[in-house]
Amino acid sequence: MSDLYAVMGNPINHSKSPQIHSAFAEQTQQDLIYSATLVPLDGFEHAVQEFFRNAHGKGLNVTVPFKEEAYQLAQIHSPRALRAGAVNTLKRHEDGRIYGDNTDGLGLVADLTRNLQISLSGKRILLLGAGGAVKGVLEPLLAEKPAQIVIANRSIEKAIDLAKAFSDIGNVTGCGFAQVQGYFDVIINGTSASLQGDLPPLPSECVASHTQVYDMMYGAEPTLFMQWAKQQGAKAAYDGLGMLVEQAAEAFLLWRGVRPQTAPVMAGIRAKLLKPAAV
Ligand code: ATR
């Protein structure tokens, strides 16, 4: 029987992970089945235990809102998962223990530096938001040795606390949106504001003509934040589809020992996104 993998979340019906991992498996000729599981909000631990009770259950991806619970549940953690306090990838070790990793930050950095050719070293980066999404990407971003990361968030205290928690590994400070000063080379939106049709209220001076903007969200249309950035004169604005595919590739590597090619998979998903839904 094939090895089994799944993504668990709530909601889960729009997850692209089954499509991405099935494409990876086909490309690398790995014999596996990957499915999406809707887990009740109070049923994550039970669902994980049931999944791994099956001897063929090898690994899980974990998405909103279970990444912190997955962290609690994992028996061994990668250093980056420990730092993030959140886990998006679980793997059953040979001895039966559950290993937790977080590949979100690697996915973001791979998309920025490899796919989009944006060098982060020595750059001034503005990171918007202070929730799980931002926590998960801070360590890999700081590992690229930017000159500075400013975390700006609606709740100012959260931005300041998060910056403090990472200040031993780089130059990182926290503030509110109104306190953002000067312009940035790279601006990354890790808030969920666009889900409510909102924009973080940033001073327009933070965007210069060479500024490149990245939104961790994605959709068929450029996000509200990307549109705003272009209106302020940003050089380019990208969505988070590449991050999604790259974090999946890192999970696949952890599980199967082979890193798939991401470009064709990204192109396939982009093409499907742009296709009008059937009526
Ligand atoms: P995630 O795991 O996706 O990061 P989260 O932990 O709930 O989700 O965090 C959501 C982030 O988006 C937070 O930084 C939140 O700001 P607060 O900490 O002030 O709540 C931010 N956010 C959500 N809605 C927003 C909005 N309408 N405007 C600006 N920021 C918003």
Residue 116 counted as domain residue: yes
> Do 132 and 67 share a structural domain?
no
- Residue 194: helix, strand or coil by DSSP? helix
**CA distance linking residue 204 with residue 112, whole number of Å:** 23
Residue 152 counted as domain residue: yes
Residues of the chain with pLDDT under 70: 277-279
**CA distance linking residue 65 with residue 55, whole number of Å:** 26
> Do 214 and 173 share a structural domain?
yes
Residue 272 counted as domain residue: no
Q: Quick: pLDDT tens for 159-197.
A: 999 999 999 999 999 999 999 999 999 999 999 998 888
Q: In ligand 1, which atom is closest to the CA atom of 130?
A: 14
- Closest among 127, 81, 110 to 245, alpha carbons compared: 110
Count CA atoms closer than 13 A to 144's CA, side-chain side. 24
Strand partners, 111: none
> Do 116 and 233 share a structural domain?
yes
The token pair at 277 is 């839904």
**CA distance linking residue 204 with residue 183, whole number of Å:** 9
Residue 66 counted as domain residue: yes
> Do 197 and 246 share a structural domain?
no
> Do 97 and 68 share a structural domain?
yes
Residue 278 counted as domain residue: no
- pTM for the predicted model, two decimal places: 0.95
> Do 228 and 123 share a structural domain?
yes
Contact 63, 12 (CB under 8 A): yes
> Do 26 and 128 share a structural domain?
no
Measure Cα distances from 87 to 46, 150, 259 in Å: 17, 24, 20
> Do 89 and 164 share a structural domain?
no
Between the CA of 278 and the centroid of ligand 1 the distance, in Å, is 32
Q: In ligand 1, which atom is closest to the CA atom of 134?
A: 4
Residue 161: domain span: 112-240
* pLDDT at residue 112, as a whole number: 98
Pocket lining: 130 vs ligand 1, CB cutoff 6 Å: yes
Q: In ligand 1, which atom is closest to the CA atom of 158?
A: 18
> Do 28 and 13 share a structural domain?
yes
Strand partners, 50: none
Contact 269, 20 (CB under 8 A): yes
CATH number at residue 200: 3.40.50.720
Pocket lining: 157 vs ligand 1, CB cutoff 6 Å: no
**CA distance linking residue 128 with residue 124, whole number of Å:** 13
The token pair at 127 is 């990171």
Residue 268 counted as domain residue: no
Between the CA of 196 and the centroid of ligand 1 the distance, in Å, is 10
Pocket lining: 68 vs ligand 1, CB cutoff 6 Å: no
Residue 120 counted as domain residue: yes
> Do 174 and 145 share a structural domain?
yes
> Do 209 and 135 share a structural domain?
yes
Between the CA of 134 and the centroid of ligand 1 the distance, in Å, is 10
Residue 273 counted as domain residue: no
* pLDDT at residue 278, as a whole number: 61
Q: Quick: pLDDT tens for 212-251.
A: 999 999 989 999 999 999 999 999 999 999 999 999 999 9
The owner of tokens 């993998």 is: 5
- Residue 251: helix, strand or coil by DSSP? helix
CATH number at residue 72: 3.40.50.10860
Task: Give how many domains the chain has, as a whole number.
Answer: 2
* pLDDT at residue 21, as a whole number: 98
The token pair at 17 is 């992970």
**CA distance linking residue 226 with residue 38, whole number of Å:** 30
> Do 91 and 154 share a structural domain?
no
